[in-house]
A and B are shown apart, each in its own frame.
Chain A
Amino acid sequence: MKTTKGKFQVVQWLLFLLLAVYAISMIYVLIWGGLNSFKSERDFLINKNYFGLPEKWQIENYTHVMGHMFVPINRGGTLIKVNVFGQVIYTLMYAGGCCFVGALSPFLMAYAYTRFNFKFNAVIMNVMLVVIALPIIGAETSMLSVMHGLGIYDTFFGIYAVKFGYANLYFLIYIGTLKGISKEYTEAAYIDGANEMQILVRVILPLVKNVFLTICLIYFIAYWNDYSTPLVYLPGYPTFAYGVWYNVFVSTTPDMNKTTLKMTAAMFLIIPMLIVFILFRKKIMTNLSTGGVKE
């Protein structure tokens, strides 16, 4: 093999430059948004103070958004305005419930697949492979139709049922994790007289707890930021992201129709997830792999 060390060090430095520019741009965009969220409309638009510090720090932008970022919905023929508090509650219900069922379903199937030797296991795996391999486009309208038909459209139960699918990458990750658990644990539990439920709850769950919680966390962040699914499937329960989208792009009410207030609303959406990321960074960025969890 030819010695390429000297010649291709250029690639290393080019990558460093690309990543440095990227990192600076990413952080700067967030700082820019944050700074401008504290400006008055006059300071930002009329004085064209796009890049400087606020002439006066408008903390009231945040209290104004908290008090005025409504989403109007039609519930049973009555127009209701859902405030920020309501949006956060709906977000916690949406993200919390969906992340739990999304992490649970592949775990149940992976546990059944790895710990028991029934013929249905072949179906479980083959179905998973087909689902991952086959790209199906445009089934969303049919999903709407089915949800309406079952009477679960625009309900949390309905959205949880939709998200309770097992056929995804996390099924393989659970299989890898469960295969890494020695059978001696369960054999010792059998000898002690434990039944299957006791083995699952007292032996297996504590051992896969970290993987389960990591997957929950990843899903929670994704669902916290997701507005497009509630927009279509859960319109009667606007989430916080839905509220930001509505007030930035749709609403024309004077209360929120200001550029700086829209950036304030955007900052509101980021802050909780930045806190979650700072607290759980190592867990979130752990290398989940089919061979187990790597730190």
Chain B
Amino acid sequence: MKEINAKKKTRRGKLLFYIGLVALPTIQFCIFYIYVNFNSILLAFQTYDKITNQYAFAKFDNFKAVFQHFSSVMGKIQLKNSFILAFFTIVISLPLSILCSYYVYKGKLFAETFKIVLFLPSIISGLVMIIIYKYIVELGLPAILTDMTGEKVLGFYSNPDTKFSTILFFTMWIGLGGQLLMYLSAMSSINESVVEAAKLDGVGFFGEFWHITLPMIFPTISTFIVSGVAGIFTNQMNLFSFESYLAPADVQTVGYYMYKELYLQKSSIDAWPFLSAMGLILTVITVPFVFLLRHVFTKYDPMEA
């Protein structure tokens, strides 16, 4: 009997300690995830009456406003730029990033130096790099090209014809070392005996990458591709750091527009329902694609084949 009571006391003690561990994070999650997202859905169906200072049910008015926004010239440009950015990020930048990580993983010439340099953008503020980059492409490079060609070359940043591509290039340049540590971690977990066996078969640098490394780190790659797709409508392309809230319409992305409006309207309660509705619509559009992509990657994982 004493033993049973002692066991009960121990289990009760463990339970109380367990509750002590999980209570605060659970409460935080309930408020700042569940309630915030529930409130977001509620806000999307409301409008703020400035006369009565109260929210009122607005049916689908906010959603109509969102569709009107994306049907407008500015909205279409934002969508177009978001997709262009996603294409360059996922189709061009991501493969280059993986290849660079592979080069570092193989410990080739200056690999350790490149590893540090690729990691630098994770340490140095993007804002700082943008400040310096803007002056280089606006003043420095045009001066060199003007001297070389004898013709006046406009600043790449202020020139409307090159502004978007200048910003896009920066985003890809600064993002080359993105997720470097994650890729290196995944590559490091590849069984050495598999690599040795491949080398005995005469596989070289790229052959090992294509036939062994890529398939074995496929789950990591697919995670970042899915993240890239999930982030199509949130990626600002560093525009707020380039232009603050004054970016011209032709370079804006959806992510930039949403953050800019959040910043400008942070004290304007009446603007929040529209932004919530926009977020809800974009979430509803994105989620099925993300789940479909995940399903496809799981089904066609080369290691499961």
Contacts and interface: CB of A to CB of B under 8 A. Distances in A.
Given A30-B132, A228-B259, A138 B282 contact: yes
Interface stretch (A3-11, A59-67, A81-89, A177-185): A3-11
Contacts of B37: 136, 139, 142
B40 A225 contact: no
Interface string A239-262: 001001100111000000001001
A141 B294 contact: no
Interface string B91-116: 00000100110110000111001111
A194 B114 CA distance: 48
B28 A259 contact: no
Interface string B230-253: 110110000011011000000000
A245 to B, nearest CB: 6
A125 B122 CA distance: 29
Nearest to B176: A22
Nearest to A28: B136
10 nearest A-B residue pairs (beta carbon):
A138-B279, A5-B204, A8-B206, A135-B230, A142-B40, A225-B125, A33-B132, A3-B202, A4-B207, A196-B17
Contacts of B143: 48, 50
A1 B206 CA distance: 13
B29 A166 contact: yes
Q: How large is the interface on A (under 10, 10 to 19, 20 to 34, 35 or more residues)?
A: 35 or more
Interface string B111-151: 00111111111111111110111011001100110000000
Interface of chain B, main secondary structure: helix
Nearest to B39: A142
Contacts of B118: 19, 22
A287 B185 contact: yes
A194 to B, nearest CB: 12
A294 B188 contact: yes
A25 to B, nearest CB: 7
A95 B22 CA distance: 24
12 contacts: A2-B202, A26-B121, A29-B129, A33-B131, A141-B40, A142-B39, A144-B262, A150-B31, A227-B127, A235-B266, A266-B128, A274-B124
B109 A16 contact: yes
A109 B22 contact: yes
Contact of A32 (B132, B144, B173, B286): B132
A29 B125 CA distance: 13
Interface stretch (B67-75, B158-166, B270-278): B270-278
Interface in B217-238: 230-231, 233-234
B204 A245 contact: no
Contacts of A288: 181, 185
Contacts of B36: 139, 142-143, 146
B21 A112 contact: yes
A49 B241 CA distance: 26
A145 B29 contact: no
Contacts of B243: 249
A105 B28 contact: yes
B275 to A, nearest CB: 4
Contacts of B266: 144, 232, 235
A51 to B, nearest CB: 7
A11 B205 contact: yes
A135 B207 contact: no
Interface string A189-226: 00000011100000000000000000000000100110
Given A145-B43, A225-B126, A197 B17 contact: yes
Interface in B254-305: 258-259, 262-263, 265-266, 269, 271-272, 275-276, 278-280, 282-283, 286-287, 290-291, 294
Contacts of B271: 141
Contact of A249 (B114, B244, B287): B244
Max chain B CB contacts within 10 Å: which of A4, A131, A241? A4
Interface string A31-56: 01100100000000000101100000
Interface string A63-103: 00000000000000000000000000000000000000000
